[in-house]
């Protein structure tokens, strides 16, 4: 099966680099599935899971909170603002993330900014539920 090069980078470390069969991205405008040969694209990412499958069809999930993805002829690169592999997540970590976003939201007077923070909180709550702790 055809593969594409995928790289997932967070500020503190490179979480993955290698060949994959597919990548599912939580794009700001909706979820995207990236397959080999995908048209060039650049998109912002919202809070959600990046899911990628390698050549053995084993899937991996990483919770990202914001960032960008670039898809080009060389492959797909995700530059995440924050990223945590599912294996490293605990209910306390997700709850801490939610509290951090709530604190930022509460310090905002701008209704549009508060609405954006509310969306982040909703995505984090969905992410926590999807983990099935």
Average pLDDT, the chain: 90
Residue 6 has pLDDT above 70, yes or no: yes
Q: What is the mean pLDDT of residues 110-117?
A: 92
Burial code of 64-98, b = ≥16 C-beta within 10 A, e = fewer?
Answer: bbbbebebeeebbbbbbeebbeeeebeeeebeebb
pLDDT band at 112 (very low <50, low <70, confident <90, very high): very high
* Three-state secondary structure call for residue 6: strand
pLDDT tens per residue across span 29-40: 999 999 999 999
């Amino acid at each position: 099966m055809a593969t594409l090069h995928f790289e997932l980078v967070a500020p503190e470390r490179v979480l993955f680099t290698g060949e994959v069969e597919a990548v599912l991205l939580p794009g700001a405008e909706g979820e995207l599935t990236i397959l080999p040969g995908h048209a060039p694209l650049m998109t912002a990412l919202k809070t959600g899971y990046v899911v990628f499958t390698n050549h053995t069809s084993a899937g991996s999930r990483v919770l990202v909170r914001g960032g960008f993805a670039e898809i080009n002829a060389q492959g797909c690169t995700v530059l995440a603002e924050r990223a945590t592999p599912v294996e490293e997540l605990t209910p306390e970590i997700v709850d801490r993330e939610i509290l951090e976003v709530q604190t930022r939201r509460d310090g905002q007077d701008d209704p549009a900014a508060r609405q954006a923070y509310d969306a982040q909180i909703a995505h984090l709550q969905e992410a926590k539920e999807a983990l099935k702790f």
